[in-house]
A and B are shown apart, each in its own frame.
Chain A
Amino acid sequence: MTGEELRRAVATHRWQHSLRLPDGIVTPGARSEAALAAEEDVLFGAFNLRGAHVLDAGAAEGHFTFAALRRGARRVLSTDHLAWTLPNAGGEAALRLAAGALGHSVETLAADPRQVTGSFHVTLAMGFYEQSANPIAALRALSAATTHLMLLETLQDALDDARPMMVAHTLDRAYGPGIEGWAPNPPLVMHMLLEMGFDRVLYRTHPEGVARGIYAALRPAADGRLLEGFAAPWINMTHPTPPA
């Protein structure tokens, strides 16, 4: 595919991710390259992905899939649901176009997180609470597919409330209006992850602000040394550092 052909192909898709492709082409995503780079640093900067099997759930057009492959992941399964299946969505084809241009071979699955199965060292669970009518079932399925580490990113709410809780939301997205979902607060995410068999949970706000949160949750099988790179502003929710 020539640069001009690629440019024309890119123009036929809707993009959430701004992806830098060959020939100076950058996909016109609603999220900038800089914003994605900052989020990638938060998600992947603290540990080594080399050799890992990774599930990218909520992959959109694949920025984090490509980042995981670039960082040495042995296998990445990219999945998404609404951003790949709603009438105004074109994410899976866009991801495949970008993968081809970048020379990555990718494995994709258009599915509700509740239908995802398999076994992955690392799961990226991106934005599913706010786009699932049932995030309890979604988290249960994603947890079951995770053997070591889950990185969970979500819209949040009820930050003023110490009780673990989640609030129902309706959101409009570029690929569809009126998407029903939920926004949890950090105590809720921590307790749900603990109930689902994770034993260490870390949290930090999203680099773009407190409206979103990011969690790193470890299964008992995961070596604690994996946590060494998770420095402040990450906080360990389950094993806080005692005051000096």
Chain B
Amino acid sequence: MTETTPRLSDEALMARVHALPWWHSITLRPGVVTPGGKSAHIMAEEEAAIFAPLALQGRSVLDIGAWNGGFSFAAKRRGAARVLATDSYIWKHAYWRGREGLELARAELGLDVETAIVDPPALTPEIGIFDVVMFLGVFYHLYDPLDVMERLRGVTRQLLIVETHQDALDDPRPGMVFYPGDVLLGDATNWWGPNPALMLRLLQRLGFRRIHYRDHPTLGRVRGIYAAFTDEAEPSLHAGFDANWTDLTAPGAVDALLVRT
């Protein structure tokens, strides 16, 4: 649903923007960009990396961990028929107030993006089944990402996109590193760092057949992006995956990603 609000002056809009903390840098008007912790440059690079290969026209999209909605808005702008933005921790967080930022941006952008409070460990198909599910920057924040990956499979009709912090990149064994306390980047909400061999295995275990991988566009292999297709995926959905992406199921593909130290 699109909220209608009287058009604010640039100054009034910026005053409302600056009253909130932001993670996503979202261009609301020419020259009016939310001051996200993630820069407009990185947002643009990530958006291009994730969405360039995707034909979203007419498809439904579920965004898990939507934060301020930057990628939900991008999906809608790129033609998705329906976008449901969800979050819980950040939207309920007394300081981050992520949903207020999303709602402010949504009203200004006039995009029809739905919202729902969803905590990933409580995700069930009651929310619906979506053509494309985006799971960006969430895997490593979960104490039990294995359970949530199963839940994600249950709400994905065609394509699951996972973007995550990675670790054990020098290890050919499919594994994940645990971060007790706040040892990863001083953030006590970081729990696990998987490597590509593990992500391939987890996604295959869940029944995804075609799995494409690419490094993060600006940070490289310390973060990875996985596009995992179900048997139901329409060919038009994976036709755009080009040389920027690796078919992770091809022989030797995972070993080629090993970082030799």
- Verify B178–A168 contact, CB threshold 8 A: no
> How many of A's residues come within 8 Å of B, CB to CB?
20
Instruction: Out of A134, A165, A180, name the residue touching B168 (CB < 8 Å).
Output: A165
A:165-202 near B, CB below 8 Å: 165-168, 180, 188, 191-192, 194-195
Chain B residues closer than 8 Å to A28, beta-carbon distance: none
Inter-chain CA distance A163–B177, complex, in Å, is 7
Asked if B144 lies at the interface with its beta carbon under 8 angstroms from chain A, I say yes
CB distance from A76 to the nearest CB of B (A): 29
B255 to A: closest C-beta gap in Å: 16
CB contact between A195 and one of B150, B171, B175, B180 (< 8 Å): that residue: B180
B residues near A188, Cβ cutoff 8 Å: 178
Task: Pick from A140, A157, A163, A194: contact of B167, CB below 8 A.
Answer: A163
* B174 contact set on A, CB distance < 8 A: 167-168
The answer to whether A161 and B146 touch (CB under 8 A), given A168-B198, A188-B178, is no
Given contacts A137-B144, A158-B175, A167-B175, are A194 and B205 in contact (CB under 8 A)?
A: no
Q: Is A37 an interface residue (CB 8 A)?
A: no
Partner of B143, one of A133, A136, A157, A194: A136
Interface code B158-174, partner A: CB below 8 Å = 1, 0 otherwise? 00000000011001011
Taking a contact as CB atoms under 8 Å apart, the answer to whether B180 and A191 are in contact is yes
The reply to whether A158 and B178 form a contact with Cβ atoms under 8 Å apart is no
Q: Which of A134, A157, A163, A195 has the most CB of B within 10 A?
A: A163
Contact of B205 among A136, A158, A180, A192 (CB under 8 A): A180
- In the complex, chain B residues 159-213 whose Cβ is within 8 Å of any chain A Cβ: 167-168, 171, 173-180, 198, 201-202, 205
Q: Tally A-B pairs: CB < 8 A.
A: 54
Q: Which residues of A contact B175 (CB under 8 A)?
A: 157-158, 165-168
Assuming the contacts A163-B177, A164-B178, A168-B201, asked whether A134 and B146 have C-beta atoms less than 8 A apart, the reply is: yes
List residues 19-74 of chain B with CB under 8 A from any CB of chain A. none
Are A134 and B144 in contact (CB-based, < 8 A)?
A: yes
- Which residues from 122 to 139 on chain A have a C-beta closer than 8 Å to any C-beta of chain B? 133-134, 136-137
B interface majority secondary structure: mixed
Q: Which of A134, A167, A180, A191 contacts B178 (CB 8 A)?
A: A191
* B-side contacts of A134, CB under 8 Å: 144, 146-147, 150
Shortest B246–chain A CB gap in Å is 20
- B146:A136 contact, CB within 8 angstroms: yes
**CA A194 – CA B202 in complex, angstroms?**
26
Interface residues of B in 130-147 (CB under 8 A from A): 143-144, 146-147
B147 near A161 (CB under 8 angstroms)? no
Choose one: B144, B150, B171; the contact of A161 (CB below 8 Å): B171
Residue of B nearest to A170 (CB): B201
Does A157 contact B144, Cβ atoms closer than 8 Å? no
> Shortest distance in angstroms between B188's beta carbon and chain A's nearest beta carbon?
11
Pairwise interchain contact B147-A137, C-beta atoms closer than 8 A: yes
Which residues from B are CB-within-8-Å of A180? 205
Proximity string of chain A (39-60) to chain B, C-beta cutoff 8 Å, 1 when within and 0 when not? 0000000000000000000000
A18–B146 Cα distance when bound, in Å, is 35
Q: State how many angstroms separate the Cβ of B75 from the closest Cβ of chain A.
A: 30
Complex Cα–Cα for A140 and B144 (A): 10
Query: Quick check: B144 and A133 within 8 Å, CB to CB?
Result: no
CB < 8 Å: which of A133, A157, A167, A191 contacts B146?
Answer: A133
- Complex interface: chain B residues within 8 A of A161 (CB): 168, 171
Determine how close the nearest CB of chain B comes to the CB of A19; give it in whole angstroms: 35
Given contacts A168-B174, A195-B143, 18 further A-B contacts (CB under 8 A): A133-B146, A134-B147, A134-B150, A136-B144, A137-B146, A140-B144, A158-B173, A161-B171, A163-B168, A164-B177, A165-B168, A165-B177, A165-B178, A166-B175, A167-B173, A167-B174, A167-B175, A191-B178
CB-defined A-B contacts under 8 Å, sample of 9:
A134-B146, A136-B143, A158-B173, A161-B171, A163-B168, A164-B177, A168-B173, A168-B174, A191-B178
Q: Which residues of A contact B (CB under 8 A)?
A: 133-134, 136-137, 140, 157-158, 161, 163-168, 180, 188, 191-192, 194-195
The 6 A-B residue pairs with the shortest CB-CB distance in the complex, in nearest-first order: A191-B180, A164-B178, A167-B175, A168-B174, A134-B146, A136-B144
